[in-house]
Amino acid sequence: MKTAQKNNSFTLWPYMIVVCMVSFMGYIAHFVYQAMNQDVDLVSKDYYAQEIKYQDQIERVRRTQALGDVMLNYKAGDEAILLQMPATYQDMNLSGTITLFRPSDDKLDKQLPLQLGRDHSQLLEVADLESGLWKVRVSFSANNEDYYTEKTIQIK
């Protein structure tokens, strides 16, 4: 009589399946940890208060467009933004602010005063700004009327 011989060969497949499953679970746990620690901000801190005042904002934009759009041109070579007011604003005494708004990080936002030259233009140096998406918001007033314009630029 012959006895049945046992197959004593060693196989790695069960161990590899367990290692792959543990690795995948570790990856998912790391992904969840990173997602939970990601800083997720609203567009601005007082988003809801700004939303209530949005109709006023629409009126400011309409007033600005009625007198002619403010030109905002980004010149990558000069690392500057040229703000040019149209001729319809030349007889007005303008005062206001320019906000360089970074949607992804509110700590990088900058606010500058509106200081127009004789030709009703202002050059904004942007060499110190991080590359990426920025919104240039110009809010100004003249003759007891408020005006507003905004342009999105990509700084490289």
Q: Would you say 72 and 81 are in contact if contact means Cβ atoms under 8 Å apart? A: yes
What are the residue boundaries of the structural domains of the chain, listed by start? 12-41, 47-155
Strand pairing class (132-142; 145-155):
antiparallel
Cα 94 to the center of its chain, rounded Å: 27
What is the reported pLDDT for 30?
97
User: Is the pLDDT at 24 greater than 90, yes or no?
Assistant: yes
Q: Would you say 75 and 82 are in contact if contact means Cβ atoms under 8 Å apart? A: yes
User: Is the pLDDT at 41 greater than 70, yes or no?
Assistant: no
Quick one: which of 95, 145, 153 has its CA closest to 124?
153
Q: What is the pTM of this model?
A: 0.65
Would you identify the CATH topology of the domain 47-155? Immunoglobulin-like (2.60.40)
Q: Helices (DSSP H) in 4-155: which residue ranges?
A: 13-37, 47-52, 54-67
152/76: higher pLDDT? 152
What is the reported pLDDT for 124?
87
Long-range own/partner contacts, residues 36-42 (CB < 8 A, 24 or more apart) = 41/106
What is the reported pLDDT for 42?
56
What is the average pLDDT value for the chain, to the nearest integer?
Answer: 85
The stretch 78-86 carries a mean pLDDT of: 87
What is the reported pLDDT for 5?
61
